[in-house]
C-alpha cells in the first residue's frame, strides 16, 4: 500500500505548499467497500461541452436543438423583438460565432406586427417547425402563438411558410409553446392566461392532431401560487421537457423577468396519463435561481440539448442585478449552457448558474466513481449522492505559484480556493500572501492509474499526491507503484 503523509505547516512550506491531509469525517461519509462501477461522464475522448460563458450574448429565451444530422441549431428572442433568427454549428462552441440567418420578419402593421417572443425550433416528421409568440402592431402585448413550417433539411435555408395561429380554447395571452413526443403521442405544452384565474399565465398541455393544431382540450397542470412564483407578476411560463429515468420532467420559469426570475420543476411518471392534471407534481422550491456569488441574475426560460451522453441545460441570465426601466427591454439576457447532472434517485440536479471561467468539473476517485470531492462548511471531503451539486463543482485555474502549477477554485464560492491550512483541506479566500499562494497551489498531472484522469501532486514533492483513504478523508500519500494506492490518487473529471 502507498504511504500516507501527515504534514505540519513547516512541511507544507518546504514542499511548496499544496493539498494535504483533511480532517476525519463522520462515518456517514465512508466509502462503500463493494461499490458497483458507474460511468464517470468525464471521458476525455468524447465530445466536449463548451466552457464559453455566455455562449451567445443578447439572445434571451434560448432554444438549442439536440444534434440533427451532425448540427446544432439555435434560436431565441432578439432585443428588438422583431424577427425569428436561426444559427447552426457542428458544436455548441461553434454557435457562439456562427452566422445568424433571419428566417422570418414581422410585418409592418397588423397581426404579428408587435413583439416577437421566444421562438422554438422542432423537427417533426421530416419538416422543421418554429413555434413563436407575437403581438399585433397596434397592441404589441396582444400575444398569441403562431407556427412557421419548412420542408428544407437545413432550417437556415429559405422557404419558410407561415401556417398561422395555433388555436387554443381561449383567445387570450398565449406564449412560450413547446412540443414533445412521448409513447407515440405528440403533445403541445404552453403558457396562457385563462379567463377567471387571476394570474398572468399558467401552464397547459394538450395532445396534437398535427404540428399545426391541437387534438384535445387543454389541461391546466401548473398555476403560480407559491411565493417564489408571484414576485412582480404571477407567472408560470417557458416550459421545457426532458424524459429520463422513468419520469417526464418539465422545467418552467416564474415571476418577473429581473433577478427574481427563476425555474421550477413539474414531474410525472412516464407511464401516467399526461393529460390528467393529477399526474403532475410541482417541486415546492425553485430548482435554479439567482446567485450573487457567481454574479448570475434571473436565470430561466431554458431548453435542453445533449453533448454525447451528457444532458446540457440551456438558459439565459444577466451579469448584473440592477436594471434601469422595464427589465423586459434590458437587452443583456445572454444565452448560457452548463451540464445537467442527475441525483442517485433519478431526479435532475441543476446546481447554480455558473459564473465566468473555465470548465466546471467534478472529481471522482477512480476506484469509487459514484463518490465526489465536495466541500461542506468550507472543508473538503469525499462522499456520494451529493445533492448540493455546486458543492462538488470546481475549476482548475492558473496556479498562484505561476507556470506549472494550478489552483482549485470553488464554483459556488469563486473567491475561495482549496488550500491546506496545516490541519485540513479547506476552501479559503485568497489572502494575497505568500503563505496562501503556496498553500493553494499544486501540480496537475495525468492520472497515475489512468491517464484519462488526473492526479494532483504537491508542488515541491514529486512523489506526494492528493488521495482518498477509503473512509471519506482526503489525504496526501506516496502511492509509489502500489496499484490500489495509485487508483486512490487518480480522479476522473465529470
Average of per-residue pLDDT across 20-35: 29
pLDDT of 188 reads 98
Q: How confident is the model at residue 439 (pLDDT cuts 50, 70, 90)?
A: confident
Per annotation, catalytic residue among 61, 93, 136, 330: 61
pLDDT of 313 reads 97
Q: Is the pLDDT of residue 419 over 80?
A: yes
Average of per-residue pLDDT across 394-411: 95
Q: Which of 372-376, 410-414, 476-480 is the least confident region?
A: 476-480
pLDDT of 12 reads 36
Condensed to tens digits (0 to 9), the pLDDT of residues 327-378 reads: 999 999 999 999 999 999 999 999 999 998 888 999 999 999 999 999 999 9
Nine-digit cell at 50? 463548451
Report the distance separating Cα 416 and Cα 419, nearest Å.
Answer: 9
Is residue 437 within 8 Å of residue 400, measured between CB atoms?
yes
pLDDT of 396 reads 94
pTM of the model: 0.90
Q: Is the pLDDT of residue 126 over 90?
A: yes
pLDDT of 452 reads 95
Condensed to tens digits (0 to 9), the pLDDT of residues 166-201 reads: 999 999 999 999 999 999 999 999 999 999 999 999
379 in the same domain as 342: no
Nine-digit cell at 417? 480556493
CATH number of the domain that 457 lies in?
2.80.10.50
317 in the same domain as 399: no
The answer as to whether 254 is a domain residue is: yes
Strands 83-89 and 100-105, by their bridges, are: antiparallel
H helices of 27-97, in order, are 92-95
pLDDT of 443 reads 95
Condensed to tens digits (0 to 9), the pLDDT of residues 2-12 reads: 555 544 333 33
Is residue 383 within 8 Å of residue 472, measured between CB atoms?
yes
Residue 216, exposed/middle/buried by CB under 10 A (0-12, 13-18, 19+)? middle
Q: How far is CA 285 from the centre of its chain?
A: 17
288 in the same domain as 216: yes
Is residue 376 within 8 Å of residue 370, measured between CB atoms?
no
296 in the same domain as 256: yes
340 in the same domain as 372: no
The answer as to whether 300 is a domain residue is: yes
CA dihedral 383, 385, 386, 387 (to 10 degrees): -160
Nearest to 384 by CA among 11, 23, 24, 38: 38
Q: How far is CA 214 from the centre of its chain?
A: 31
Q: Among 349, 375, 396, where does a domain finish?
A: 349
The answer as to whether 55 is a domain residue is: no
pLDDT of 47 reads 65
Report the distance separating Cα 43 and Cα 119, nearest Å.
Answer: 34
pLDDT of 173 reads 98
300 in the same domain as 204: yes
**265-304 burial code (b ≥16 CB/10 A, e <16):** bbbbeeeeebbeeebbebeeebbbbbbeebbbbbbbbbbb
Per annotation, catalytic residue among 237, 258, 330, 487: 237
Condensed to tens digits (0 to 9), the pLDDT of residues 269-311 reads: 999 999 999 999 999 999 999 999 999 999 999 999 999 999 9
Average of per-residue pLDDT across 134-159: 97
Number of domains composing the chain: 2
| Average model confidence (pLDDT) across the chain | 90
**DSSP reduced 3-state for 334:** strand
Domain carrying residue 111: 60-349
Q: Is the pLDDT of residue 36 over 70?
A: no
Report the distance separating Cα 256 and Cα 320, nearest Å.
Answer: 15
pLDDT of 476 reads 83
Condensed to tens digits (0 to 9), the pLDDT of residues 212-265 reads: 999 999 999 999 999 999 999 999 999 999 999 999 999 999 999 999 999 999
Q: Among 297, 315, 349, where does a domain finish?
A: 349
Helix (H) or strand (E) holding 488: helix 483-488
Helix (H) or strand (E) holding 351: none
Active-site residue flag, 383: no
367 in the same domain as 233: no
Report the distance separating Cα 142 and Cα 136, nearest Å.
Answer: 6
Classify residue 32 by its DSSP letter.
P
The answer as to whether 317 is a domain residue is: yes
342 in the same domain as 242: yes
The answer as to whether 230 is a domain residue is: yes
pLDDT of 85 reads 98
40 in the same domain as 179: no
The answer as to whether 7 is a domain residue is: yes
Active-site residue flag, 487: no
**DSSP reduced 3-state for 339:** strand
The answer as to whether 52 is a domain residue is: no
Q: How far is CA 67 from the centre of its chain?
A: 17
Nine-digit cell at 15? 514542499
CATH number of the domain that 316 lies in?
2.115.10.20
Q: How confident is the model at residue 420 (pLDDT cuts 50, 70, 90)?
A: confident
Is residue 20 within 8 Å of residue 14, measured between CB atoms?
no
The answer as to whether 199 is a domain residue is: yes
Q: Among 300, 328, 349, where does a domain finish?
A: 349
Nearest to 280 by CA among 304, 247, 254: 247
426 in the same domain as 320: no
Angle (CA) 351-117-200 rounded to 5° is: 75
pLDDT of 356 reads 86
**102-133 burial code (b ≥16 CB/10 A, e <16):** ebbebeeeebbbbbbbbbbbbeeeeebbbbbb
pLDDT of 134 reads 98
Helix (H) or strand (E) holding 455: strand 454-458
438 in the same domain as 305: no
142 in the same domain as 8: no
Amino acid at each position: 500500500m502507498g504511504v500516507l503523509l501527515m504534514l505540519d505547516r513547516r512541511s507544507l512550506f518546504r514542499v511548496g505548499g499544496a493539498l494535504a491531509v483533511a480532517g476525519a469525517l463522520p462515518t456517514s461519509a465512508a466509502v462503500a467497500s463493494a461499490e458497483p462501477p458507474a460511468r464517470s461522464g468525464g471521458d476525455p475522448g468524447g465530445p466536449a461541452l463548451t466552457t464559453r460563458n455566455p455562449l451567445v450574448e443578447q439572445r434571451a429565451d434560448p432554444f438549442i436543438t439536440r444534434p440533427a444530422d451532425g448540427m446544432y441549431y439555435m434560436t431565441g428572442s432578439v432585443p428588438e423583438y422583431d424577427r425569428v433568427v436561426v444559427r447552426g454549428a457542428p458544436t455548441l462552441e461553434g454557435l457562439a460565432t456562427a452566422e445568424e440567418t433571419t428566417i422570418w420578419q414581422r410585418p409592418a402593421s397588423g397581426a404579428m406586427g408587435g413583439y416577437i417572443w421566444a421562438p422554438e425550433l422542432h423537427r417533426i416528421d421530416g419538416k422543421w417547425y418554429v413555434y413563436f409568440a407575437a403581438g399585433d402592431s397596434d397592441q404589441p402585448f396582444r400575444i398569441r402563438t403562431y407556427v412557421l413550417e419548412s420542408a428544407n433539411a437545413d432550417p437556415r435555408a429559405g422557404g419558410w411558410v407561415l401556417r398561422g395561429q395555433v388555436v387554443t380554447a381561449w383567445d387570450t395571452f398565449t406564449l412560450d409553446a413547446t412540443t414533445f413526443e412521448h409513447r407515440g403521442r405528440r403533445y403541445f405544452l404552453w403558457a396562457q392566461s385563462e379567463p377567471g384565474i387571476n394570474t398572468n399565465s399558467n401552464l397547459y398541455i394538450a395532445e396534437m392532431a398535427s404540428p399545426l393544431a391541437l387534438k384535445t382540450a387543454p389541461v391546466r397542470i401548473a398555476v403560480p401560487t407559491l411565493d417564489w412564483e408571484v414576485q412582480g407578476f404571477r407567472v408560470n411560463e417557458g416550459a421545457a421537457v426532458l424524459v429520463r429515468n422513468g419520469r417526464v420532467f418539465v422545467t418552467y420559469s416564474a415571476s418577473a423577468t429581473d433577478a427574481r426570475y427563476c425555474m421550477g420543476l413539474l414531474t410525472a411518471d412516464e407511464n401516467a396519463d399526461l393529460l390528467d392534471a393529477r399526474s403532475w407534481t410541482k417541486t415546492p422550491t425553485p430548482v435554479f435561481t439567482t446567485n450573487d456569488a457567481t454574479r448570475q441574475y434571473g436565470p430561466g426560460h431554458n431548453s435542453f440539448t445533449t453533448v454525447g451522453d451528457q444532458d446540457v441545460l440551456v438558459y439565459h441570465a444577466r451579469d448584473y442585478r440592477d436594471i434601469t426601466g422595464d427589465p423586459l427591454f434590458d437587452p443583456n439576457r445572454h444565452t448560457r449552457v452548463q451540464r445537467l447532472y442527475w441525483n442517485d434517485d433519478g431526479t435532475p440536479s441543476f446546481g447554480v448558474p455558473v459564473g465566468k471561467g473555465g470548465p466546471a468539473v467534478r472529481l471522482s476517485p477512480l476506484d469509487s466513481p459514484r463518490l465526489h470531492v465536495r466541500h461542506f462548511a468550507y472543508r473538503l471531503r469525499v462522499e456520494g449522492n451529493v445533492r448540493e451539486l455546486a458543492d462538488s463543482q470546481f475549476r482548475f485555474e492558473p496556479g498562484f505559484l505561476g507556470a506549472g502549477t494550478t489552483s482549485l477554485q470553488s464554483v459556488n464560492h469563486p473567491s475561495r480556493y482549496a488550500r491546506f491550512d496545516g490541519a485540513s483541506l479547506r476552501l479559503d479566500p485568497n489572502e494575497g500572501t505568500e503563505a496562501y499562494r503556496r498553500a493553494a497551489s499544486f501540480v496537475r498531472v495525468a492520472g497515475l492509474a489512468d491517464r484519462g484522469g488526473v492526479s494532483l501532486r504537491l508542488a515541491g514533492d514529486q512523489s506526494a499526491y492528493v488521495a482518498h483513504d477509503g473512509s471519506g478523508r482526503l489525504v496526501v500519500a506516496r502511492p509509489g507503484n502500489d496499484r490500489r494506492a495509485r487508483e486512490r490518487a487518480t480522479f476522473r473529471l465529470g
